[in-house]
Amino acid sequence: MTTGRVVDPATLDRSDVISYRALVRSDFQGKQPPPAFAPYVESLGAATCAQILSTPDTQLVAQPSKGPDGRVVYRTKPVHLQFHAQMDRNCSWWNPSDVGLPEDYILEHEQIHFALFELEARRLNRLIPELEQHLHATAKSPRAAIQIAQQQLNRELEARMQGILARSRAFDEDTSMGHSPEQQKVWWNRVHAELERRRRPPNVGSRVQ
């Protein structure tokens, strides 16, 4: 299973996060399941904590200009706008109890969840020209203008996060109510075909270790 959220990079705990790659058992460093999954611990094989966030270079910049009345106002524009998906290893948890599922099945399951976040980050990166047209705000101060643009960006990301979580729930319903390797393989092939069609541009997220 997975939990996800829109993340403000300034508040992110970067002590143990990874960008998208093949997962291994040791990536699940959480000492307990995320609170949302506590009721399911008896049947839950693992929980992946995933995030979508802007890359460190992303900025919202406010520049002065004259308004219709001739007074100075500040207009924002995004600079170096990019997005990536990450897994928080300290939050992600592997159930130490035997839940009756093979380890490779659980690991493949969590890999697909992580891939769903990576897919949405790649989709967002393809939509950057469109997003840049909408992330414009005007206010009497730079701080106010940037705050409005940040709220616009957060609303866009929140809407997309809800789409990811809905797809993750559909995946869980198809595969997590028992051992369903055939159905999980269908999802595996589908998600990896989508990743191949939406190859990540070079260097996006490459600074995250």
90-119: b (≥16 Cβ within 10 Å) or e: ebbbbbeeeeebeeeebbbbbbbbbbbbbb
| pLDDT higher than threshold 90 for residue 92 | yes
pLDDT score for 3: 54
pLDDT score for 196: 92
pTM assigned to the model: 0.84
The chain-wide mean pLDDT, for the chain, equals 86
| pLDDT higher than threshold 70 for residue 169 | yes
| Per-residue model confidence as pLDDT tens digits over 171-189 | 988 886 668 899 999 999 9
pLDDT score for 102: 93
pLDDT score for 70: 85
Using CA atoms, how far apart are residues 103 and 12, in angstroms rounded to an integer? 30
pLDDT score for 186: 96
Q: Which residues 6+ apart lie within 8 Å of 64 measured at CB? A: 72, 73, 74
pLDDT score for 42: 83
| pLDDT higher than threshold 80 for residue 145 | yes
| pLDDT higher than threshold 50 for residue 98 | yes
Quick one: pLDDT band at residue 203, thresholds 50, 70, 90? very low
In terms of pLDDT, which residue wins out, 70 or 139? 139
| Per-residue model confidence as pLDDT tens digits over 18-72 | 999 999 999 999 999 988 887 778 888 999 999 888 888 889 999 999 888 888 9
Quick one: pLDDT band at residue 123, thresholds 50, 70, 90? very high
Using CA atoms, how far apart are residues 19 and 115, in angstroms rounded to an integer? 11
Percent of the residues in the chain that have a pLDDT greater than 90, as a whole number: 56
Using CA atoms, how far apart are residues 166 and 179, in angstroms rounded to an integer? 21
